[in-house]
């Protein structure tokens, strides 16, 4: 049986960081950049909570997010060896549900609707690997957690890290080889 991987959307296959910076500037006039927000939590980085809330609930915000560099090619190629599930915490923002589904259909049409999960809490998701940018998901996952680097998780060091999608295939292979050796 193929090993399974749960892959997050925002900050993992959707490059939400520069997108949010751009929308935040339009909304508040505050020009942030990726260096300025490194290591900060979302609510520290985007400190105007009302503006942040408004953006995240605005139609087309999620629909127009750019794709993370290398994500399409790598995910497509991983599908030959792994069972891929897209697992996104979309439930908090009801408007995002349809938009995220449409975004996936546009950029990742090769992923079946059967392999898409929109949820809140990810603790009941059981896959061999989970690629995510948040500890709230990775700390409780049932498989091997892999942290995709994002501005807000720079200081966290208790998960194996992915800095770019091109690192993923060999990282997974190494992990599987190591596990098989132990067994």
Interface residues toward a second copy, by CB under 8 A:
4, 6, 85, 91-92, 94-95, 97-98, 101-102, 105, 112-121, 124-127, 142
Tell me whether residue 77 or residue 105 sits nearer to a second copy (CB atom).
105
Q: Cβ 53 to a second copy, closest distance in Å?
A: 15
Instruction: Give the number of other CB atoms < 10 A from CB of residue 120.
Output: 9
* 32 or 141: CB nearest a second copy: 141
**10 labelled catalytic:** yes
Residue 15 annotated as catalytic: no
Q: What's the alpha-carbon Rg for the chain, to the nearest Å?
A: 16
Residue with Cβ nearer a second copy (95 or 135): 95
Q: What are phi and psi of 140, to 5 degrees?
A: -110, 10
Shortest spacing between CB 102 and a second copy, in angstroms: 7
134: left (phi over 0), alpha (psi -120 to 50) or beta: beta
Residues with a catalytic annotation lie at 8, 10
């Amino acid at each position: 049986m193929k090993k399974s991987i749960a892959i997050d959307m925002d900050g993992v296959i959707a490059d939400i960081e520069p997108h949010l910076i751009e929308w935040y500037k339009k909304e508040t006039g505050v020009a942030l950049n990726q260096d300025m927000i490194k290591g900060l939590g979302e609510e520290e980085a985007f400190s105007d909570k009302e503006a942040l809330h408004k953006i995240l609930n605005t139609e087309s915000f999620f629909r127009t997010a750019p794709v993370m560099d290398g994500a399409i090619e790598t995910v497509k190629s991983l599908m030959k060896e792994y069972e891929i599930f897209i697992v996104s915490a979309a439930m908090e923002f009801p408007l995002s549900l349809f938009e995220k589904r449409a975004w996936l259909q546009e950029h990742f049409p090769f992923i079946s609707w059967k392999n898409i999960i929109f949820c809140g809490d990810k603790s009941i998701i059981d896959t061999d690997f989970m690629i995510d940018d948040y500890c709230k998901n990775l700390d409780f996952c049932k498989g091997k957690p892999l942290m995709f680097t994002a501005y807000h998780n720079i200081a966290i060091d208790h998960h194996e890290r992915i800095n770019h999608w091109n690192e993923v295939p060999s990282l997974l292979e190494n992990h599987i080889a190591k596990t098989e050796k132990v067994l």
